[in-house]
Amino acid sequence: MLLIRCPYCEEERPELEFRNAGEAHIARSANIAGESDDDFEKFFFIRSNPKGIIYERWRHMHGCARFFNAVRDTVTDKFVMTYKAGEPKPAKLPGVAK
């Protein structure tokens, strides 16, 4: 069972309290009704499936109930860092070689 740091509670809590909520940093267009089929396809259907660093959304379901973003390594399952929803994709990751 993983320990995940909730950026709102500022605490590491067991995985049981959390739910994964899919890939992060996929913005919903402010003019979604006017999007082309291709743009909507990219927005709704296309997801990355990297071996290594992934940016994803989690929800502290059985804690503060907030959605937040996390950087996780899909090879080691280790959480590199977590940050609040709405914050930009981190430019630098702690302890990860480029």
Partner 1 sequence: MSGAFRIPRAGRLSQAKTARFSFDGQSYAGIEGDTLASALLANGVHLVGRSFKYHRPRGFLSAGAEEPNALVQIVRDEARKTPNVRATVQELYDGLAANSQNRWPSLSFDVGAVNDIASPMFSAGFYYKTFMWPKAAWKSLYEPKIREAAGLGVSPDKPDPDHYSSRYAHCDVLVLGGGAAGIAAALAAAETGVRVILADEQAEFGGSLRFETGAKIDGQNGFVWAQAAIAKLAAMGNVRVLSRTTAFGYYAQNFVGLVERVSDHLKAPGHDLPRERLWQVRAKRVVLASGAIERHMVFANNDRPGIMLAGAARTFLNHYGVAVGRNVGVYTANDSAYAAAIDLKKAGVNIAAIVDLRDNPTGPVIDEARALGIEVNFGRAVIRAGGKLRVSSMTVQPKNGGGERTIPVDAILMSAGWTPSVHLFSQSRGKVAFNDETKRFVPGTYAQDCVSVGACNGTDGLSATMDEAYAAGDQAAKDAGAKTAKGTKPKVDASESWSRGMLGAAPGAGPDTTVKAFVDFQNDVTAKDIRQAVHEGMRSIEHVKRFTTNGMATDQGKTSNMHGLAIAAETLGKPIPEVGLTTFRAPYTPVTFGAIVSHARGPLFDPTRKTATHPWAEAQGAVFEDVGQWKRAWYFPKAGEDMHAAVDRECVAVRTTAGLFDASTLGKIEVVGPDAAKFMELLYTNPWEKLEPGRCRYGIMLREDGFIYDDGVVGRLAPDRFHVTTTTGGAPRVMNHMEDYLQTEFPHLNVWLTSITEQWAVIAVQGPKSRDIIAPLVEGIDMSDEALPHMSVREGKICGVPTRLFRMSFTGERGFEVNVPADYGQAVWEALWAEGQKHGATAYGTESMHVLRAEKGYIIVGQDTDGTVTPNDAGLDWAVGKKKTDFVGIRGMARPDLVAKGRKQLVGLKTKDPKVVLEEGAQIVADPKQAIPMKMIGHVTSSYWSQNCGRSIALALVAGGRDRMGDTLYVPMPNGVIEVEVTSMVFFDETGGRLNG
Distance of closest approach, residue 50 Cβ to partner 1, in angstroms: 19
Binding positions for partner 1, 29-88, rule CB under 8 A: 32-33, 35, 37, 40, 44, 57, 59, 61, 65-67, 76-77, 85-86
Distance (Å, whole) CA 11 – CA 27: 27
Beta strands in 9-76 (DSSP E): 11-14, 19-23, 53-59, 67-73
Distance of closest approach, residue 22 Cβ to partner 1, in angstroms: 10
The two most distant CA atoms of the chain are separated, in Å, by: 43
Of 2, 42, 74, 87, which lies in the binding site for partner 1, with binding defined by CB under 8 A? 2
